[in-house]
């Protein structure tokens, strides 16, 4: 399975912080925001990744992530000139996807919880259809909403309904089979002028191929796209990391624990880092064996 990080958009909700820099480069406690969605794909075992960004932001994001080989992954890049909907990412990345299964995560979404890697790897096992993730929210009218029966079968899905029939919001993480590009090519822009991802999910539902995994209590899903949510995310990450002494979305650690880089490569990575807490954390992992 391949992976896409959709890191486009203008970041208008974060203005003026994003007047000259991508929101994906803003800090969430001790790491740039884009590290978190990239970590989600890596935790799913995905090593072939496309990052879609804006023409303005592409040079800095490429300077940050490079080609990914330092983490044992392959990162390629594409550009989305204007924000024309999440589903457009699959048309932009059509050659990259090449009729294979693909997962997409939004560049401002953060996922964390015990057993997350196992849930993501289970989602990869579906060879047909789509898998989305539902998260209970108190204000579902702000989101795409999925309605489930008692057996977690999908009864319906709608975008920002005035009268939601469920409190389960659809998160910014999607797993699709090889039909995704074909289905996106059939879409027409919505009233907002965008290719809506909800329309894609509705199509999979009509085919009886839409699966939903609930992210239950104990999981965190954070959309760091506003000043308030960016601060909440930073405070959350800070609290967990300081309490546990373990880092969240540490790309070097994920790669090392996955066996994508060995001790020598990890040591070389840390040696190139400036002295500080992040380097000390990695050196401790190496010294103690994790």
**What pLDDT digit, counting tens, does each position of 253-266 carry?**
999 999 999 999 99
Give residue 10's pLDDT: 78
pTM of the model: 0.96
Q: pLDDT digit string (tens) for 146-172? A: 999 888 889 999 988 999 999 999 999
- Domains of the chain by residue range: 2-134+171-259, 262-290
Per-residue confidence at 179, pLDDT binned at 50, 70, 90? very high
CB 80 within 8 A of CB 5: no
Arithmetic mean of pLDDT over the chain: 95
Burial label for 162, CB within 10 Å (0-12, 13-18, 19+), is exposed
Could you tell me the fold of the domain covering 2-134+171-259?
A: Spore Coat Polysaccharide Biosynthesis Protein SpsA; Chain A (3.90.550)
Q: What confidence tens digit (pLDDT) does each residue in 231-288 have?
A: 999 999 999 999 999 999 999 999 999 999 999 999 999 999 999 999 999 999 999 9
Whole-angstrom distance, CA of residue 173 vs CA of residue 222 = 12
């Amino acid at each position: 399975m391949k992976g896409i990080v959709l890191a486009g958009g203008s970041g208008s909700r974060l203005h003026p912080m994003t007047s000259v820099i991508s929101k994906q480069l803003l800090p969430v406690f001790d790491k740039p925001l884009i590290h978190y969605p990239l970590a989600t794909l890596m935790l799913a075992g995905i090593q072939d990744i496309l990052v879609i960004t804006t023409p303005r932001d592409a040079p800095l994001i490429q300077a940050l992530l490079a080609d990914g080989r330092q983490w044992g992954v392959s990162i390629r890049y594409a550009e989305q000139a204007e924000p024309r909907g999440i589903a457009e990412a699959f048309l932009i990345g059509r050659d990259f996807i090449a009729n294979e299964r693909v997962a997409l995560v939004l560049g401002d979404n953060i996922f964390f919880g015990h057993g997350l890697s196992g849930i993501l790897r289970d989602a990869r096992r579906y060879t047909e259809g789509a898998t989305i993730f539902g998260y209970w929210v108190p204000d579902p009218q702000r989101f795409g909403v999925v309605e489930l029966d008692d057996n977690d079968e999908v009864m319906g899905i709608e975008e920002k309904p005035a009268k939601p029939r469920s409190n389960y919001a659809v998160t910014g993480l999607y797993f699709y089979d090889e039909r995704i590009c074909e289905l996106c090519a059939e879409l027409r822009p919505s009233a907002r002028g965008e290719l809506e991802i909800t329309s894609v999910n509705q199509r999979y539902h009509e085919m009886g191929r839409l699966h939903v995994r609930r992210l239950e209590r104990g999981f965190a899903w954070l959309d760091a796209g506003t000043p308030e949510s960016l601060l909440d995310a930073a405070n959350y990450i800070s609290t967990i990391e300081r309490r546990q002494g373990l880092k969240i979305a540490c790309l070097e650690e994920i790669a090392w624990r996955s066996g994508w880089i060995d001790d020598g490569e990890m040591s070389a990575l840390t040696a190139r880092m400036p002295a500080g807490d992040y380097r000390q954390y990695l050196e401790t992992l190496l010294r103690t064996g994790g």
